[in-house]
A and B are shown apart, each in its own frame.
Chain A
């Protein structure tokens, strides 16, 4: 049994390889990009708009509102990064209803890559907002003694972010795979539906945690705004 789609390799040439994770990621990227281009092709600025446009606007404004509610006063500045996180993870989860589809987020490589992106984005947004000195000073608050702990906390939360998403997505895949061998037909379908819900929740958790980390870097306390996450 394969734990990760990284193990499904279609092509390999030296260091470079083309595995199922990358391929399904491209599929999700293609779906999102082409779908966006098609749906956003004829957008109406009037009071009358199509159902699809209405759906897209609801999604975008909902993400924007969530970002703003967390504490970022300029949500559009972070909408591209945080919104894409949510959409990518949620589309990867939704793809599990397609037989044969392996969600890229069930690969620890993908979740680590996303966590690294968050790990890099947080100081970038923080430095952009407070400057290098201001952001670095935030690691020494409330005292200099807290500097190593803050750095450890920064790394550990990134690791937790990656492992949490990977664990949830991978476990869903694993459970469905095991149940298929034991009780085929009905029960795996129920578990797949439950996996969809879990995937959407994980997408929300992943993006909202990234938002909180960025918001914490925007002049707030380093650990004060972090919500407790329980799975």
Chain B
């Protein structure tokens, strides 16, 4: 018989034992090793995925931050540029104002210096002119300057235009107040008398005269009556000299100016100057 039932039972038992043995020593260790490796791989993949997600989040966050930084930088740069421009403009305005102030102060100072210098020059010139004229007249013709001024004044008054004379005669006759004679130097009795005589003769005045000494006249004589006056002084000489000196100070040293600056050549034009000042309405004084 091909089937031995003892062998069948024994083989069945052997097979079941083999199943248990292989489960114990073969399948379980191998499957455990595979499971452990798969878990490890899954864990590593999960970690890698988590790290990838984290990296992507950080990347997105970093990109957002970079964009925000760029915007902030651009904004700050724009604000800084505007602020710098405003500050620059403000500083320029300040500097301009300061320079303007300095220039103004400098100009004021220069003007003040110029005025002081001009006054000083005028005063010294006057003194020098007086001294020179006085000395020259005394040395050459034994003539007093003041006497000569009075004589010139009287002569100029006599040589006035007839219309002017009549106008002044009308003023002198109509006025009831005394005429005022102002001079730079004190007039002697003879000089006063000579002026009174000339006034009576030329303008027909018979009233009283008041004589005053005024340093403001700059070496001259002034006869005034009711707003009208007749005067002579060396102020015009000094004015011409002042003009020339001013041109020199301002750097205008043209040949024409230099020529005008010589008082010897100017003198004949102004020497005979007798000023008649009138009211704004055209009336003679």
Binding site for B on A (CB under 8 A): 3-4, 6, 15-17, 19, 21-22, 25-26, 29, 32-33, 36-37, 40, 43-47, 49, 53, 56-57, 60-61, 76, 79-81, 83-84, 87-88, 104, 107-110, 112-114, 116-117, 166
Q: A32 CA to B21 CA in the complex, in Å? A: 9
A to B CB contacts below 8 Å, 24 in the list: A19-B7, A29-B14, A32-B21, A33-B18, A33-B21, A33-B26, A36-B25, A43-B33, A45-B40, A46-B40, A56-B30, A57-B30, A57-B33, A80-B19, A80-B20, A80-B27, A84-B18, A84-B22, A107-B4, A109-B7, A110-B8, A113-B8, A113-B9, A113-B12
Q: A32 CA to B14 CA in the complex, in Å? A: 13
Identify the closest chain B residue to A18 (Cβ): B10
User: Shortest 4 CB-CB distances between A and B: which pairs?
Assistant: A113-B11, A36-B26, A109-B7, A45-B36
Task: Say which residue of B17, B33, B36 sits within 8 Å of A53 (CB atoms).
Answer: B33
Identify the closest chain A residue to B44 (Cβ): A47
A60→B34 contact, CB < 8 A: yes
A25-B14, A116-B12 as given contacts; A80 in contact with B2, CB under 8 Å: no
User: Other CB < 8 Å A-B pairs besides A109-B8, A113-B8, A113-B11, 11 of them?
Assistant: A25-B11, A32-B21, A53-B30, A53-B33, A60-B34, A80-B20, A84-B15, A107-B4, A110-B8, A113-B12, A117-B12
- In the complex, chain A residues whose CB is within 8 Å of the CB of B10: 22, 113
- In the complex, chain A residues whose CB is within 8 Å of the CB of B9: 113
- In the complex, chain B residues whose CB is within 8 Å of the CB of A57: 30, 33-34
Q: Which residues of B from 157 to 211 have beta carbons under 8 Å from A?
A: none
The interface size of chain B toward A, counting residues with CB under 8 Å, comes to: 34
B14→A22 contact, CB < 8 A: yes
Task: Say which residue of B2, B4, B14 sits within 8 Å of A3 (CB atoms).
Answer: B2
Main secondary structure of the interface of B (DSSP, over half): helix
Q: A15 CA to B11 CA in the complex, in Å? A: 15
A84-B18, A104-B11, A114-B11 as given contacts; A16 in contact with B30, CB under 8 Å: no
A25-B14, A43-B29, A88-B15 as given contacts; A110 in contact with B7, CB under 8 Å: yes
Task: Say which residue of B22, B33, B40 sits within 8 Å of A33 (CB atoms).
Answer: B22
Identify the closest chain A residue to B22 (Cβ): A84
A53-B33, A109-B8, A113-B8 as given contacts; A29 in contact with B18, CB under 8 Å: yes
A29→B29 contact, CB < 8 A: no
- Shortest distance between the CB of B236 and any CB in chain A (Å): 123
- In the complex, chain B residues whose CB is within 8 Å of the CB of A110: 7-8, 11
Q: A48 CA to B112 CA in the complex, in Å? A: 105
- In the complex, chain A residues whose CB is within 8 Å of the CB of B250: none
